Structure 1
Amino acid sequence: MEASFKHKLPLTLALLSFLHFSGIISINAQGLSKHGTLNKNISALLVFGDSTVDSGNNNFVSTIFKSNFPPYGREFPNQIPTGRFTDGRLFTDFIASYVGIKEDVPPYLDPTLSMRELMTGVSFASAGTGYDPLTPMLTNVIPISKQLEYFRDYNKRLESATGKQRTKNLINNALFVVSAGSNDFVVNYFALPTRRKSYTVSSYQQFLLQHCKELIQGLWDEGARKILVAGLPTLGCLPAVITLFSNSSTVIHDHLQRRCLEQYSSVARDYNRLLQNDLNFMQLSIASQGARIFYLDIYEPLIHMIEEHESFGFDETNVGCCGTGYLEASFLCNPKSYVCSDASKYVFWDSLHPTEKAYYNVFNGTIRPIIDLIINN
């Protein structure tokens, strides 16, 4: 039976005014590197998706969905607000540092990038985007299809600078990371009636998965052979979702009433199960050609941090560190906002995005073992 998702018009309008995606703090990324020059199997890190992996491309896009201002970046080296939607690094930065490629992954649209920076990896991701072509239109950000175009342009730039064979080898040995889908549900399907008029939850999941598979196929056609695809987080535990979609208005003024919404988290679990099945099928079809596709579980480590928060050193699990923590994100989390004194006590930095500490825990818990597997061939 399909669940019924209600939307509250005033809160939905508030959501559209800013909403977007998709145990250590102030972590020394250099200290993370285990493999360094011993890594011979990963040449670069190339990233696609939404705000969970956007390192600053929206800085160069005409959209209000930016984070290149304080207090974002408070724990980043030199406290630089790079355009990452968190207080420090993203999980993709930890991957890059761990394999010894670079300390953090820059945005592709940064015009100051050197050829060396390009060759070791960039992010094509854009906060606010999704697999559904309608989702980026709502926020004027970079569609997934455009990210793939940028990657093709990237290939041509490398070929011009280093030659076709060297570029081919670099791409074949690069690690690709894809992380998207949250905005499609939170900003689009749950919040607006457009897609709900045409799709049930299950048919919309299949619609998104088809676009996800098209992206993977497009990356494959361009030479990608090591691809990591992230599932959805616990959607019902995002502070903004709790605020916007709870049946009781008390969640806005009564902190003790704020709890994860199972109805929304179950959608994420179902989607993740379908995604894993599709990725397994794709893996079987291309394994003989030397390709590997991995599913990245974001849901389980995040829900584990929330449910067992004390063991991770977290005090707050259902509000963000910035502002009230109920709705603030992007420009609503700004230099004038109240900010908690210790973000390491919070799972979420703003109302949608995890803290650097939470991202590190996700990396360390589920991603690092996969990276070790790839490096060890």
Structure 2
Amino acid sequence: MSTTISFHLVMLVIINILYMQYCYCYANNNKKSKISSLFAFGDSTVDPGNNNYIPTIMRGNFPPYGKDFDNHVATGRFTNGRLVTDLVAEYAGLKKNVPPYLKPNITIQDLMTGVSFASSGGGFDPFTPLMTGAIPQSQQLEMFKEYKSKLEAKIGKKRTKTLVRNAGFLISAGTNDIAFNYYGPILVQRTNYPNVLDYQHFIGQNVNKFLQGLLNEGASTIGIAGLPPIGCLPAMITLYSTNPNSNRRCINYLNSISIKYNHMLQKNIKGLQRPGVKIVYFDIFNPIMDMVNQKAKYGFNEVNRGCCGDGYIGAALMCANAPVCNDTSKYIFWDSVHPSEKAYRLVFDSLLPSIETIIS
């Protein structure tokens, strides 16, 4: 009897090993690009639903979010459909959509082809996620370390090291730090840093620290997005326009802060480059600015209001079961902060040369 049980146990182990080898080979052969997987870190622009599994007010796992996603499912993505990271993963031939790391019962296949550790409401300033209960960047890095340990237990240390070295890493954060922390209703950081350039320098130091942390964990190919034109976010227009009802133009001085931040980020990236490491700057400012300035060129009618809710200040719970515009393709912004899927696709298209640098 014991011999039979032992035989069955041995067979189960062998089958499990063969399955893992199959998954590993599939994950590395059934794709167009040279990257093994895709990992995302940051805020709501790359969070596919991690916030669904933590205590936070920043959730998008209810209608009308996900209105144009597969089966109209509100996955936790803060838009009507897919994110740029989903489009990159599909373009690279890895998978159609990038799942959240915290998703229960996530498969080994999904772990090996890439997940997102991002958290809506997050930022590089440790104070930013405290305002909403989001996952700090430092904890996202710890989650990645945990991920590596899980994968090592499944496919071994050598294969895990190879997978991480050949993976693409995408980072998108910073908007919450500047727009809703520094220029938001809580004055803590404006008191600590009366000059916004000093605050940007503080953020830059944290960006460098996070990038160095990823490099220490084996990352070699990283794409990092700059800031969008924060003065064009509907919520910021509402907060800072002299007449938010009649004057819905972008706030130029806020956009100039985005530009200065992006210049600083690009300079910092150059300082981190070294042999065997590739860090690529993703310009999202200019494509969004172009959509705002030339809306007819892209088929947009509305550039300074969101599609969901009142369009002026609504996001997250303020959009819960709220009215929605008739045609999301006519809006750059889905809510008062986040782009629509169409806008994300246009950003993706503009980033293709940079994306090719990451995945090739």
The question of a shared fold, defined as TM-score above 0.5 by the shorter chain, is answered with yes
> Which residue identity does 1:196 align to in structure 2?
R
SS for the counterpart of 2:222 is strand
What CA distance in whole angstroms lies between the structure 2 residues aligned with 1:61 and 1:364? 32
Match of 2:277 in 1: 291
Does 2:336 correspond to 1:342? no
How big is the shift at 1:45? 0.5
How big is the shift at 1:41? 1.5
How big is the shift at 1:198? 1.6
Match of 1:238 in 2: 233
With structure 1 as the length reference, what TM-score do the two structures score? 0.86
- Relative distance call for 1:66 and 1:375 in structure 2 (3 A) is closer
What CA distance in whole angstroms lies between the structure 1 residues aligned with 2:32 and 2:355? 11
Residues 104-158 of structure 1: per-residue CA shift (max 9 Å, x gap): 0000000121111111000000000110000111111100000000000000000
What CA distance in whole angstroms lies between the structure 2 residues aligned with 1:43 and 1:128? 28
What CA distance in whole angstroms lies between the structure 2 residues aligned with 1:234 and 1:281? 25
Does 2:280 correspond to 1:274? no
Structure number, greater radius of gyration: 2
How big is the shift at 1:334? 1.3
Match of 1:314 in 2: 300
Residues 141-186 of structure 1: per-residue CA shift (max 9 Å, x gap): 1000000000000000000110001000000010000100011112
What CA distance in whole angstroms lies between the structure 2 residues aligned with 1:148 and 1:373? 24
Does 2:169 correspond to 1:176? yes
What CA distance in whole angstroms lies between the structure 1 residues aligned with 2:284 and 2:63? 27
**Cα RMSD (Å):** 1.1
Match of 1:197 in 2: 191
Does 2:38 correspond to 1:45? yes
Are the aligned partners of 1:39 and 1:375 in contact in 2 as well (CA < 8 Å)? no
Match of 1:265 in 2: 255
What CA distance in whole angstroms lies between the structure 1 residues aligned with 2:31 and 2:73? 30
Q: Map residues 349-360 of structure 1 onto 2, 5 A cutoff.
A: 349-360=334-345
How big is the shift at 1:38? 5.3
Residues 34-67 of structure 1: per-residue CA shift (max 9 Å, x gap): xx94535111000000001000000001011100
Are the aligned partners of 2:168 and 2:358 in contact in 1 as well (CA < 8 Å)? no
What CA distance in whole angstroms lies between the structure 1 residues aligned with 2:358 and 2:57? 38
Structure 1 stretches lacking a partner, 5+ long: 1-35
Aligned residues: 330
Are the aligned partners of 1:55 and 1:105 in contact in 2 as well (CA < 8 Å)? yes
Q: Percent identity?
A: 49
Does 2:289 correspond to 1:303? yes
What CA distance in whole angstroms lies between the structure 2 residues aligned with 1:101 and 1:119? 10
SS for the counterpart of 2:160 is helix
What CA distance in whole angstroms lies between the structure 2 residues aligned with 1:234 and 1:272? 10
Are the aligned partners of 1:232 and 1:271 in contact in 2 as well (CA < 8 Å)? yes
Are the aligned partners of 2:33 and 2:92 in contact in 1 as well (CA < 8 Å)? no
SS for the counterpart of 2:140 is helix
Are the aligned partners of 2:280 and 2:358 in contact in 1 as well (CA < 8 Å)? no
Are the aligned partners of 1:232 and 1:299 in contact in 2 as well (CA < 8 Å)? yes
What CA distance in whole angstroms lies between the structure 2 residues aligned with 1:262 and 1:64? 30
What CA distance in whole angstroms lies between the structure 2 residues aligned with 1:103 and 1:39? 13
What CA distance in whole angstroms lies between the structure 1 residues aligned with 2:330 and 2:264? 33
SS for the counterpart of 1:123 is coil
What CA distance in whole angstroms lies between the structure 1 residues aligned with 2:176 and 2:94? 30
With structure 2 as the length reference, what TM-score do the two structures score? 0.90
SS for the counterpart of 1:214 is helix
Are the aligned partners of 2:148 and 2:160 in contact in 1 as well (CA < 8 Å)? yes
Are the aligned partners of 1:349 and 1:355 in contact in 2 as well (CA < 8 Å)? yes
